[in-house]
Structure 1
Amino acid sequence: MYKLLIADDEAFERKTMRFILKKSFNNLDIVEDAKTGAEAIMLSEEYKPHIIIMDIKMPEKNGLEAQKSILKFLPNVKTIILTAYDNFSFAQSAIKLGVVDYILKPVRPDELKESLNKTIHLLKNEDTSINAFTDLSYDRDSIHEAIKFINKNFNRSITLELVSEHVHLTPHYFSRYFKNNTGVNFIEYLSKLRIKEAKRLLVSTSKSISRISLDIGYVDSAYFSKVFMKYEGVSPHKYRLSQKKPPLNLEIP
């Protein structure tokens, strides 16, 4: 999965490229868009993209100025420049700054896809041992952050999409990687966490089943009981009764 940043001050162009890329590539994680050259630098520091699609004409800093700054902390980034000008001197400047390709605006879908395929091929052919280690380290950190987020917010209306957005991964990629690293899928992990807390509340408090259901993130108490039965083999009510300590049987001498 390659992280990609789109930097363009025209909202329509950004939406068009995002639509084309999402439809054509399943190995791209498209991060937050940049609307200016300064934003492109800032978001590149935050997300560390593998690929940047950079408009040449943007406010604050132009595309080449932003590329020059980004190369200082992302020397291996693959940048595709968008330009409305087709001239040789521009191409020379772009090549000197490590730009892998440039596309004339307005962007044509076939040219964009061809350029991305070429760029992804370049990434795959680079030193895979170094790049794989970097990606794995990033993904491991993302999973740890996701688990921390779930553990803290399991009692809210939490979804796969919400968690994947929190760690800046696509839902599909996050779902697959989460299961590969934890051995369970997102729903199963969340359910087990909630049931564990429900068991504690059933034993240590006198709260009603409905109240406990709400406290652990289930709005529907009937659904909560169904999930509880699935994992524990008994209803919440029967579990509570089974955990009550019997009265002490003291013999009077």
Structure 2
Amino acid sequence: MCKLMIVDDEPLERQALRIILKRRFLNLCILEDAKNGVEAIRLATRFKPDIILMDIQLPGKNGMSVQKKIIQFLPNVKTIIITALEDFNCAQTALKYGVLDYLLKPARTSDIEIAVDKAIKSINQVSLLDSISSKPATSSKKAINSILNYIHANYNQPLTLNEIATYTHLNPQYLSRYFKETVGMTFTMYLTNLRIETAKKLLINSDKSITQIALEVGYSDPSYFSKVFDKHVKSSPYKFKMRHYNRDDIMSGKK
């Protein structure tokens, strides 16, 4: 699981980023926030984040100074700058210090998600390639964790085994056998289970329509989603939602 740290002196900005990240990335550990440059360096030293979302205009040390310091002890950290400062020279300096992306406030949610997704993919790819060339026992664990992280970050897309094979630079047939031997089920079964379990949580805990939920968990056809859900849960999505809705009413004393 990748660790991410938010660095911004504005509480509302930090809160908004947390909401965006928690909603989009299920397999992401969001660390304690930093409110200024000094805190950012201290927390980065302590928690060693894989990804940093950071404003440039910070109290005390500016973001570029912080990045320059952090890459001395975390050379592979993926930093994404989110700032209101539209400055070409600053953007050039950011690239010099290994910044992955430079987003201008107010950044669109989709741009933030794309940048973080790119960071996660980059981290997982390096981790997978490193692990395959290491000792067999360690390799197996690290490699499958990287693959699972990729699936959890992209399960709501039309994900295929061939796409993961391309991402990992592995032969699809070999990957298929390796996945089943390591996880205990096929890639298709794992992906379906992940989508259905996520859909169950959304049906219970949200007011979203079944069509919306189908799209959010990776099914472009709501009818096909309902068919798959019924096969695995032995209930239609609507009946499942109503059953839990009625149970909640009984528990709360409603009629």
Please report how far the alpha carbon of residue 129 of structure 1 lies from its aligned counterpart in structure 2 after TM superposition: 5.6
| Other structure's SS at 1:33 match | coil
Partner of 2:241: none
**How many residues in Structure 1 have an aligned counterpart in Structure 2?**
137
Distance (whole Å) between structure 1 residues aligned to residue 16 and residue 2 of structure 2: 19
Distance (whole Å) between structure 1 residues aligned to residue 115 and residue 26 of structure 2: 16
Partner of 2:109: 109
TM-score of the two chains, using structure 2 as the length reference:
0.50
Question: In the superposition, relative to structure 1, how do residues 128 and 19 fare at CA in structure 2: closer, same or farther (>3 Å)?
Answer: same
- Matched residue type, 1:19: I
1:121-163 CA distance string (max 9 Å, x none): 1112214365796xx89xxxxxxxxxxxxxxxxxxxxxxxxxx
Please report how far the alpha carbon of residue 33 of structure 1 lies from its aligned counterpart in structure 2 after TM superposition: 0.1
Question: In the superposition, relative to structure 1, how do residues 110 and 71 fare at CA in structure 2: closer, same or farther (>3 Å)?
Answer: same
Partner of 2:43: 43
Q: Indicate yes or no: 2:33 matched with 1:8.
A: no
Please report how far the alpha carbon of residue 64 of structure 1 lies from its aligned counterpart in structure 2 after TM superposition: 0.6
| Other structure's SS at 1:34 match | coil
| Other structure's SS at 1:66 match | helix
Alignment of 1:7-86 (within 5 A): 7-86=7-86
Q: Any unmatched runs of 5+ in structure 1?
A: 138-253
Structure with bigger helix share is 2
Distance (whole Å) between structure 2 residues aligned to residue 6 and residue 68 of structure 1: 17
Distance (whole Å) between structure 2 residues aligned to residue 35 and residue 130 of structure 1: 34
Q: Any unmatched runs of 5+ in structure 2?
A: 133-137, 143-255
Question: In the superposition, relative to structure 1, how do residues 62 and 131 fare at CA in structure 2: closer, same or farther (>3 Å)?
Answer: farther
| Other structure's SS at 2:82 match | strand
Please report how far the alpha carbon of residue 47 of structure 1 lies from its aligned counterpart in structure 2 after TM superposition: 0.6
Distance (whole Å) between structure 2 residues aligned to residue 60 and residue 131 of structure 1: 39
Please report how far the alpha carbon of residue 107 of structure 1 lies from its aligned counterpart in structure 2 after TM superposition: 2.7
Of the two, which has the highest radius of gyration?
Answer: 1
Distance (whole Å) between structure 2 residues aligned to residue 127 and residue 21 of structure 1: 22
Distance (whole Å) between structure 2 residues aligned to residue 131 and residue 44 of structure 1: 24
Please report how far the alpha carbon of residue 87 of structure 1 lies from its aligned counterpart in structure 2 after TM superposition: 2.9
Distance (whole Å) between structure 2 residues aligned to residue 63 and residue 27 of structure 1: 27
Please report how far the alpha carbon of residue 69 of structure 1 lies from its aligned counterpart in structure 2 after TM superposition: 0.6
1:150-205 CA distance string (max 9 Å, x none): xxxxxxxxxxxxxxxxxxxxxxxxxxxxxxxxxxxxxxxxxxxxxxxxxxxxxxxx
1:31-85 CA distance string (max 9 Å, x none): 0000001100000011100000011000010111001110111011000011112
- Matched residue type, 2:86: D
- Matched residue type, 1:122: S
Please report how far the alpha carbon of residue 118 of structure 1 lies from its aligned counterpart in structure 2 after TM superposition: 1.2
Partner of 1:222: none
Q: 2:56, 2:85 within 8 Å by CA — same for their partners in 1? A: no
1:206-228 CA distance string (max 9 Å, x none): xxxxxxxxxxxxxxxxxxxxxxx
Partner of 2:120: 120
Distance (whole Å) between structure 2 residues aligned to residue 36 and residue 127 of structure 1: 30
Distance (whole Å) between structure 2 residues aligned to residue 129 and residue 104 of structure 1: 33
| Other structure's SS at 2:49 match | coil
- Matched residue type, 2:22: K
Q: 2:4, 2:51 within 8 Å by CA — same for their partners in 1? A: yes
Partner of 1:92: 92
Alignment of 1:137-176 (within 5 A): none
Partner of 2:182: none
Distance (whole Å) between structure 2 residues aligned to residue 87 and residue 9 of structure 1: 20
Distance (whole Å) between structure 1 residues aligned to residue 68 and residue 18 of structure 2: 24
RMSD of equivalent CA atoms: 2.2
Distance (whole Å) between structure 2 residues aligned to residue 73 and residue 90 of structure 1: 22
